[in-house]
Amino acid sequence: MSSPRRKKYARLLRWYPQRWRAEHGRFMLDTLDEYASDQGIMRPSMAEAWSIRSHGMGERASYRWAVVFAALSLVAFLGAAVILLSNTLLVPEVGVVRTLLAVLVGPLTLAVAAIVILHRRGTLSAPAALCAAMGTVPTFTFTALAAMSVALGFEEADAGTARTWFASAGLLLILLTWCTQDSGHALVTGSGFVDFSGFFLIKAC
């Protein structure tokens, strides 16, 4: 009968793809359970659980993932370019869509594709790759919000209207962008991963 500890390890190993579990799962589970038994460990620690999850995601992140995310990035950038070159940019809502495509969706999916490739090539470990991928989400989200805030500020200045709270929050959002970017760099120091969020913010403005 399986112990509660063994069941917890078995649940953690589900982060690995099924093909990997079929080949290595039983051996890995026995090794983890035996080591925990020898050390008197009753349950996986947070660090151990994080390591298993990140390496499981690393096994799932194949070059096919990189191709899919790169294709999504290309579609997003092409969509933003079409909007920029068409008359639809005169519609305010379309401008927001263009910013989201050019500053959030395009760069985010491109960054994830690059992270997957760096991981598959051995440049990034699985935990570092997962940290980098998770860090790109708030970084590019704040970048997009900052770009929209700055653009709205210019529009309100041209119209001579009072500045709204969102237009006034541009500097704060830019600072949050750089803070999240620096935090992500700290997590993957020496990995060779480069964050281009500042570049996309400048281009959007």
Q: What DSSP string runs through 29-50? A: HHHHHHHHHHHT--S--HHHHH
Residue 95, pLDDT score? 82
**What tokens appear for 27 in the block?**
């051996």
**What tokens appear for 39 in the block?**
């050390």
Query: CA quadruple 94, 76, 127, 25: dihedral positive or negative?
Result: positive
**What span, in angstroms and rounded, lies between the C-alpha atoms of 162 and 171?**
17
Residue 86, pLDDT score? 84
> Is 76 in contact with 127 (CB distance < 8 Å)?
no
Query: CA quadruple 183, 66, 60, 36: dihedral positive or negative?
Result: negative
**What span, in angstroms and rounded, lies between the C-alpha atoms of 142 and 129?**
21
> Is 49 in contact with 12 (CB distance < 8 Å)?
yes
**What span, in angstroms and rounded, lies between the C-alpha atoms of 192 and 125?**
12
**What tokens appear for 159 in the block?**
């119209």
In 10 A of CB 78, how many CB atoms? 12
Residue 1, pLDDT score? 41
Residue 161, pLDDT score? 84
Segments making up each domain of the chain, as ranges: 4-58, 63-204
Residue 60, pLDDT score? 95
Closest CA to 64 of 11, 15, 17: 17
How many residues in the chain? 205
pTM, two decimal places: 0.81
> Is 101 in contact with 80 (CB distance < 8 Å)?
yes
Residue 190, pLDDT score? 45
Query: Which amino acid is located at 68 in the chain?
Result: V
Strands (E), 70-134: none
Residue 198, pLDDT score? 43
Q: What is the pLDDT along the chain (205 residues), one digit of tens a residue?
A: 468 899 999 999 999 999 999 999 999 999 999 999 888 888 898 999 999 999 999 999 999 999 999 999 999 999 999 988 887 766 667 888 999 999 999 999 999 999 999 999 999 899 989 988 988 999 999 999 999 998 888 888 888 888 889 988 988 988 888 888 766 555 554 444 444 444 444 344 4
Q: Which helix (H) or strand (E) holds 174?
A: helix 170-187
